[in-house]
């Protein structure tokens, strides 16, 4: 694996939307349980909004976009319902990972782990020892993956999330030592 993680560019948007499409197709065929809804979330317009905000990243390997996520300090309102171990962490010291996706055509090659490692390093570089993210409670594969990487489940919040009703949002956190 000769990957590079960098800020996304306009030229990456169609590849990112293609990853979303392949994940949604896999879920619709019963090959994954994530809890997303085609045309609602995630969408190309979601990627464009993140690109415009300057916080959309891609993992590129051999010229191919293999994974993408948004990294910023924006905590979604639903996080207020989390049972955070580090609930008193200052907002300026919290970094959030949103919508990490790996192309299902090449999943299992360490791209997700590489992206989370990048996220942790990015947080350190921005003096943010507290990491937060979320996933849908039905996404058991993601829950196992994040647990292996040292993230703690900090409550489940029932909500409409990104336009999808009936979501049980799992709040995840980790504290970095540096």
Give the pLDDT confidence of 29-81 residue by residue, as tens digits: 999 999 999 999 999 999 999 999 999 999 999 999 999 999 999 999 999 99
3-state DSSP of 121-134: HHHHHCCCCEEEEE
Distance between CA 72 and CA 94 in Å, rounded?
Answer: 9
pLDDT at 123 over 70: yes
Task: Kindly report the number of other CB atoms within 10 A of residue 8's CB atom.
Answer: 23
Q: What is the pLDDT of residue 107?
A: 86
- The tens digit of pLDDT for each residue in 137-155 reads 999 999 999 999 999 999 9
């Amino acid at each position: 694996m000769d990957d590079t993680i960098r800020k996304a560019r306009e030229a990456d948007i169609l590849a990112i939307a293609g990853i979303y499409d392949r994940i949604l197709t896999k879920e619709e065929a019963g090959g994954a349980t994530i809890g997303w809804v085609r045309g609602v979330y995630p969408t190309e317009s979601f990627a464009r909004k993140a690109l415009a905000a300057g916080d959309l990243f891609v993992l590129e390997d051999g010229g191919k976009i293999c994974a993408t996520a948004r990294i910023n300090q924006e905590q979604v309102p639903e996080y207020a319902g989390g049972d955070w171990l580090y609930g008193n962490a200052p907002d300026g010291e919290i970094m959030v990972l949103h919508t990490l996706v790996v192309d299902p055509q090449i999943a299992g090659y360490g791209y997700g782990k590489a992206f989370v490692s990048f996220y942790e390093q990015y947080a350190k570089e921005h003096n943010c020892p507290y990491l937060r993210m979320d996933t849908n409670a039905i996404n058991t594969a993601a829950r196992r993956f994040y647990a292996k990487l040292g993230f703690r489940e900090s409550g489940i919040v029932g909500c409409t999330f990104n336009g999808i009703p009936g979501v049980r949002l799992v709040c995840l956190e980790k504290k970095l030592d540096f």
